[in-house]
């Protein structure tokens, strides 16, 4: 079999024709050039696979019966790395054509019997180009929509970030606390095997979990002595205030359960909803462990940070009462066997 390659220019769409008969490739080149198409003709199916791997083509015209491999095997290889190439299958042997099931499985978009005239093939090519144009337009529109949504989300995120920094300016303890709770929550989520989308929710939820403190009076928030019962009741309103701040933003609906319920307890004695066990949103249960850990390991006006052994003992003792026991177990494993990742977060913030 003699290798033959030739290119013609015309339309902006690139077509590759693969047929081990050089005469067919020559005829297609002449015909499609006359019709205004940009064609690369190849007589070696193995070479065609490499070309598609390394260059962009919009449409492939592919013979079925070829050597050293048939057209269906060519498609099978191409679909491993290119799912979008529009493929038209040709055959000169009707009885040897691949079954419909194979054509569907390999996502071959068109099928045509070989003929001395290329009128039917031209119609299929024109139809294929229209489909490609529509897909490109859909991609363009989706890209613009995605960009717009990202900009809106960033604008809202920036606004909430401003509020978060306002809280930090009011409460020195909060500075760095939300960043660490966010990072601890993501770390726990990774060891729980959560998806990237879930980790993103944990990250943002951790950053904004205390946003409701902006609604707490400075006299209570900055008090360095023991709070009265009334003052403590006021502090306990911050999860609900935070949820209210975020409630009108569609982009942040996923983090509201974290903001609202990170002070719930597994035994049902937390706030604001006194939710119990698995009724507490899963991400809020993760944030609760991260939040408490940071509270215990941070210096306060009335005490120094607690030693690690004391912290681990407290988490273990509160497993099943304050904390989800499965999440507590995973976090204790991190503290015992991956503490370098905790230290990295602490050094960063």
Cα 170 to Cα 218: distance, rounded to the nearest angstrom: 7
The reply to whether 213 belongs to the active site is yes
- Evaluate whether 13 touches 40 at the Cβ level (below 8 Å): no
Task: Give the helix, strand, coil percentages of the chain, each rounded to 5.
Answer: 60, 10, 30
Q: 263: exposed, middle or buried (C-beta count within 10 Å: 0-12, 13-18, 19+)? A: buried
90 Cβ partners below 8 Å, 6+ apart?
19, 61, 62, 63, 64, 71, 112, 113, 114, 121
Tokens of 346: 């602490």
Task: Identify the active-site residue in 213, 260, 312, 326.
Answer: 213
Write the CA distances from 344 to 177, 183, 290, 340, integer angstroms.
15, 10, 15, 6
Partners of 187 in the β-ladder? none
Count H helices, E strands: the chain? Answer: 15, 6
Q: What phi-psi label fits residue 320: left (phi over 0), alpha (psi between -120 and 50 degrees) or beta?
A: left
Cα 205 to Cα 199: distance, rounded to the nearest angstrom: 10
Half-sphere exposure of 198 (CA within 13 A, CB side): 16
Residues with a known catalytic role: 213
């Amino acid at each position: 079999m003699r290798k033959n390659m030739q290119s013609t220019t015309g339309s902006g769409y690139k077509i590759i024709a693969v047929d081990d008969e050089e005469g067919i490739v020559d005829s297609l080149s002449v015909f499609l050039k006359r019709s205004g198409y940009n064609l690369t003709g190849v007589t070696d199916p193995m070479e065609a696979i490499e070309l598609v791997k390394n260059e962009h083509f919009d449409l492939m015209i592919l013979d079925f019966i070829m050597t050293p491999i048939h057209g269906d095997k060519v498609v099978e290889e191409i679909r491993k790395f290119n799912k979008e190439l529009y493929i038209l299958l040709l055959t000169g042997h009707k009885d040897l054509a691949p079954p419909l099931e194979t054509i569907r499985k390999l996502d071959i978009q068109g099928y045509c019997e070989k003929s001395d005239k290329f009128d039917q093939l031209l119609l299929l090519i024109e139809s294929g180009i229209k489909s490609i144009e529509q897909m490109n337009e859909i991609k363009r529109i989706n890209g613009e929509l995605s960009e717009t949504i990202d900009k809106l989300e960033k604008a809202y995120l920036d606004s909430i970030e401003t509020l978060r920094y306002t809280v930090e300016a009011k409460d020195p303890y909060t500075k760095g606390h939300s960043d660490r709770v966010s990072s601890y929550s993501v770390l726990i989520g990774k060891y729980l095997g959560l998806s990237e989308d879930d980790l993103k929710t944990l990250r943002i939820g951790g950053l904004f979990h205390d946003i409701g403190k902006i609604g707490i009076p400075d006299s209570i928030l900055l008090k360095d002595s023991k709070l009265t019962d009334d003052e403590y009741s006021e502090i306990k309103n911050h999860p609900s205030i935070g949820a209210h701040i975020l409630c009108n933003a569609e982009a942040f609906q996923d983090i509201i359960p974290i903001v609202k319920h990170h002070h719930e307890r597994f035994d049902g004695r937390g706030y604001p909803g006194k939710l119990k066990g698995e009724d507490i949103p899963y991400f809020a249960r993760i944030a609760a462990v991260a939040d408490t850990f940071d509270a215990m390991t941070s210096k306060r006006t009335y005490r120094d940070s607690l030693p690690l052994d004391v912290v681990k003992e407290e988490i273990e003792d509160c497993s099943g009462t304050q904390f989800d026991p499965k999440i507590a177990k995973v976090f204790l494993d991190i503290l015992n066997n991956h503490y370098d990742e905790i230290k990295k977060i602490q050094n960063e913030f």
